[in-house]
Amino acid sequence: MIEPISVGATAHFDFLKAKLDWELRNLQNDGLQVSIDETSVGEINFVGCNVADYGSWSYSEDDISNIFRHYVANVVSDVIVSEWEEDLLEEIIRENYYYFNQDERKIIFDYASRNLNHGMDSAEDALVYKINRKSKILQKLLDYLSVNNQLVVDGFVKFRLKEYIGELEESVERAVDDFIMDREYKEFIRLLKYFVDIQEPRIELVHVTMTPSGAFRLRDKDRQVIESDYLDGMLIDQAGSEINYEDLLVSALITLAPREVVLHIKDDTQYDNTVTTLKNVFATRVRLCKGCDLCLST
């Protein structure tokens, strides 16, 4: 006789029960009769799964028991990743980073979710990483159900999935770092934009050409190289150095305060961060050019 399996949870129980009922119907369609009942113990709701009849199945009792356990474990692992995971992330953020306000915690949650899925935003792209997390949980569940007939999801997650919880905590830690860096970057950009906005333009037009190494050269409206004491020695290619060319370029342009900035870049994907920063600071003063002789010469 195959032992029944009882699965309890304090959250997402309706989804768990519906998912179990749906999946176990597949076994019934194949001739294995499975009954489901519902009970409650305190705050924990349980759904009981019982194999009532083997029907025409010719498998051994051990094989049927293994198939039955796998179906149940597959449902529970899916529920943990698809439903519980968001709750767990929110709980980690709420308990460990309570000093952030609600809007900030929401941003951190979004960052953490992206970290878990290796930066993938779409559900389709993130699927492979979710499947990987689910498969690890599934194996833990199969090990547990091989010697236990009753499972409480709350306790299983807390005591049996420490590695999984650690992965969630790590994703949140990185999310907090990302959030703080992003906030500091936005404040820095806001200050730079303020300096640009309050200055009267000192030069009409600046052409910016960039080399593959990231070094740049500035030219005036007549396409003559701009020379000044401030820029002298800074605008040459210093490949292999640790100079942050993006910061240097922004500083140079703020000093020159041009009315218009034309970026001559053949492949702007190579300079995504630089172009984004310049557009954030100089707004409508920045224009991108990809097809003139200056573009082709860089």
Helix axes 85-96, 162-198, angle to 10 degrees: 60
Predicted pLDDT at 237? 45
Q: Which two tokens stand for residue 90?
A: 């929110």
For residue 264, what are the domain limits? 200-297
Q: Is the pLDDT of residue 121 over 80?
A: no
What are the beta bridge partners of residue 50?
A: 35
Mean pLDDT of the chain: 88
Last residue within a domain, chosen from 130, 160, 190:
190
168 band by pLDDT with thresholds 50, 70 and 90: very high
Predicted pLDDT at 230? 54
More confident position, 270 or 170? 170
Co-location of 222 and 168 in the same domain: no
Q: What is the pLDDT of residues 21-74, one digit of tens each?
A: 998 888 877 778 888 999 999 999 999 999 877 766 777 888 888 999 999 999
C-alpha distance from residue 225 to each of 216, 221, 232, 256, 276 (Å):
11, 10, 11, 13, 24
Co-location of 180 and 233 in the same domain: no
Co-location of 209 and 180 in the same domain: no
Co-location of 182 and 204 in the same domain: no
Co-location of 243 and 96 in the same domain: no
Structural domain includes residue 195: no
110 band by pLDDT with thresholds 50, 70 and 90: very high
The answer to whether 265 touches 288, Cβ cutoff 8 Å, is: yes
Residues 6+ apart with CB under 8 A from 25: none
Q: Is the pLDDT of residue 238 over 50?
A: no
Q: What is the pLDDT of residues 194-223, one digit of tens each?
A: 999 998 888 999 999 887 776 788 999 999
63 vs 157: CA distance, rounded Å: 27
Predicted pLDDT at 125? 77
The answer to whether 278 touches 250, Cβ cutoff 8 Å, is: yes
Q: Is the pLDDT of residue 176 over 90?
A: yes
Q: Is the pLDDT of residue 75 over 60?
A: yes
89 vs 82: CA distance, rounded Å: 12
Predicted pLDDT at 233? 52
Running DSSP on this structure, what letter comes out for residue 268?
G
Co-location of 25 and 122 in the same domain: yes
Last residue within a domain, chosen from 141, 161, 190:
190
Co-location of 162 and 260 in the same domain: no
Predicted pLDDT at 34? 87
More confident position, 264 or 154? 154
- pTM equals 0.81
Tally of structural domains, the chain: 2
Co-location of 166 and 216 in the same domain: no
Structural domain includes residue 186: yes
| Of the candidate ranges 103-107, 171-175, 196-200, the one whose mean pLDDT is the lowest | 196-200
Co-location of 173 and 222 in the same domain: no
